[in-house]
Amino acid sequence: MGGYVPPHLRKAAATGGGEPGGRSDSGPAPARSGSYGDVRGAGNASRGGWGDDRGSSGGGGSSMGRRPEPRGGGGGGPAARSGGTIEAVFKPYDPSERVKALTADMVADIRQRLNVTVEVPEGEPPAAAPVESFKDMNLHQNILTDITAHKYETPTPIQAQGIPVALSGRDILGCAETGSGKTASFAIPMIQFCLNQAPLRPGDGPMALVLAPTRELAQQIDKEVGTRGDEV
């Protein structure tokens, strides 16, 4: 039994003009459209998906796991931007002197009053102390102005503990009931981080990424965080 012959080669195979199951010698194979992991030479101006390899000589090989080249703002290929790569700025968490002066017993009393439980893996340093005032968190002035404009006076318990932990650069898994302010507890540190960075250039970004398990939650986060981001 003969091998499978693609439809576009069946006529040629029937007349002997082509090789059954193979590629016709009448011309080059049609170019594929861009897709994940696609490989292209420099002569192809179309763009593939994430992870595609665009060598200057059209060389083969997979680019998965390879850091993509920065793309220029003018289009037409991966031309390097002027000025080189800009490293992210991670400013150290620097709360007010009142927060720095809290003792371990004071921190425990605040957490008990807020009904907050903090668990830290063995061998890790203690989590940042809860802060009951946005001002004592030493947030960017634009964020404080936005908080004041929305008449938010004090952080909720998840915000009082979660924001300092996030600002200190620690990983955090926060659990709280609906309506407790969880979104702001990660959005405020995220916006603070973005405000500390150099202005974006064409081809830069994103600075931050939020993942959500459902469309509805993603839309809710986008609405709340988008409003804050536009105003600061």
* Domain 97-231, CATH number (from 1.10.1380.10, 3.40.50.300, 3.30.300.10, 3.20.20.100): 3.40.50.300
Backbone phi and psi for residue 39, each to the nearest 5 degrees, phi listed first = -120, 130
Query: Poorest-confidence range of 12-26, 50-64, 178-192?
Result: 50-64
pLDDT at residue number 156: 97
Label residue 164 exposed, middle or buried (CB < 10 Å: 0-12, 13-18, 19+). buried
User: Hey, where are the domains in the chain?
Assistant: 97-231
Annotate 202-219 with b (16+ C-beta within 10 A) or e (fewer).
eebeeeeeeeeeeeeeee
pLDDT at residue number 44: 40
- For 27, 40, 139, 170, the CA distances from 57, given in Å and listed in that order, are 21, 9, 49, 44
Query: Cis omega before residue 189 (within 30°)?
Result: no
Which tokens hold the place of 115?
């009904």
DSSP designation for 137: G
Query: Where does the pLDDT of residue 15 fall: very low under 50, low under 70, confident under 90, or very high at 90 and above?
Result: low
Query: 23-32, 44-53, 68-77, 86-95 — which one is most confidently predicted on average?
Result: 86-95
pLDDT at residue number 183: 93
pLDDT tens-place string over residues 83-107: 677 888 999 999 999 999 999 999 9
Which tokens hold the place of 224?
């709340």
Identify the CA nearest to 199 among candidates 104, 89, 92, 98: 89
- Cα three-residue angle 193-197-203, rounded to 5 degrees: 115
pTM of the full structure: 0.62
Query: Where does the pLDDT of residue 231 fall: very low under 50, low under 70, confident under 90, or very high at 90 and above?
Result: low
Identify the CA nearest to 197 among candidates 111, 89, 93, 39: 89
